[in-house]
Amino acid sequence: MKNNIIIFSLLISFTVFSQNSSEKQMLSLQTMATGLTIGGYGEITYNDPDSGVSEIDVQRLVMLFAYKFDDRVSFITEIEFEHVKEVYVEQAFLNYGVSDNFNLRGGLMLVPMGIVNEYHEPTTYNGVERPSLNNKLVPTTWREMGLGVYGRINSASIRYQAYIMNGFISYNDGAYKLKGTNGLRSGRQKGAESVGSNANFAARVDYYGLPGLKLGLSLYNGKTQTTDKSVVGSQVGLSMLGFDARYVKNRFSSRFEYINASLSDTDKYNLASGKDLGSKMSGYYIEGSYNLLPLTARQKLDVFLRYEDFDTHAEVAGNLTKNESFHRKETTFGFSYHLADGAVFKMDWQSKGTAVPDSESKGQFNMGIGVFF
- What CATH number corresponds to the domain at position 165? 2.40.160.10
In which domain, by residue range, is 64 found?
Answer: 2-372
Show Cβ contacts of residue 316 under 8 Å, excluding neighbours closer than 6 positions: 266, 276, 278, 279, 322
* Interatomic CA distance for residues 274 and 173, integer angstroms: 16
Give the burial string for 80-108 (b: 16+ CB within 10 Å, else e): bbbeeeeebebbbbebeeeeeeebbbebb
Give the confidence band of 229 by pLDDT, cuts at 50, 70, 90.
Answer: very high
* Interatomic CA distance for residues 312 and 326, integer angstroms: 6
Percentage with pLDDT > 90 across the chain: 90
pTM, two decimals, is 0.90
Show Cβ contacts of residue 244 under 8 Å, excluding neighbours closer than 6 positions: 114, 115, 215, 216, 218, 255, 256, 257, 258
Q: Among 3-17, 46-60, 357-371, where is mean pLDDT lowest?
A: 3-17
* Interatomic CA distance for residues 156 and 310, integer angstroms: 33
pLDDT digits 0-9 by tens, 273-306: 999 999 999 999 999 999 999 999 999 999 999 9
Q: Is the pLDDT of residue 17 over 80?
A: no
Helices (H), the chain: 2-11, 21-30, 133-136, 266-273
Q: Is the pLDDT of residue 30 over 80?
A: no
- The total domain count for the chain is 1
Output the average pLDDT for the chain.
92
Apex 75 CA angle, 69 and 78, nearest 5: 140
**SS3 for 324?**
helix
DSSP state of 185: G
Find out whether 30 and 22 touch, Cβ atoms under 8 Å: no
pLDDT digits 0-9 by tens, 300-313: 999 999 999 999 99
Q: Is the pLDDT of residue 19 over 60?
A: no
Question: What pLDDT was estimated at residue 34?
Answer: 78
pLDDT digits 0-9 by tens, 197-207: 999 999 999 99
Question: What pLDDT was estimated at residue 309?
Answer: 99
**CA-based nearest residue to 278, from 222, 226, 317, 225:** 317
The amino acid at residue 295 is L
Calculate the CA 169 to chain-centre distance.
19
Measured CA to CA in angstroms, residue 120 lies from 61, 305, 349, 351 at distances of 12, 18, 20, 22
Question: What pLDDT was estimated at residue 28?
Answer: 54
Give the confidence band of 363 by pLDDT, cuts at 50, 70, 90.
Answer: very high
Q: How many residues does the chain have?
A: 373
Judged on CB neighbours under 10 Å (0-12, 13-18, 19+), 140 is: buried
Higher-scoring residue by pLDDT: 27, 92 = 92
* Interatomic CA distance for residues 16 and 254, integer angstroms: 8
Find out whether 16 and 302 touch, Cβ atoms under 8 Å: yes
DSSP state of 51: S
Show Cβ contacts of residue 155 under 8 Å, excluding neighbours closer than 6 positions: none
* Interatomic CA distance for residues 123 and 41, integer angstroms: 9
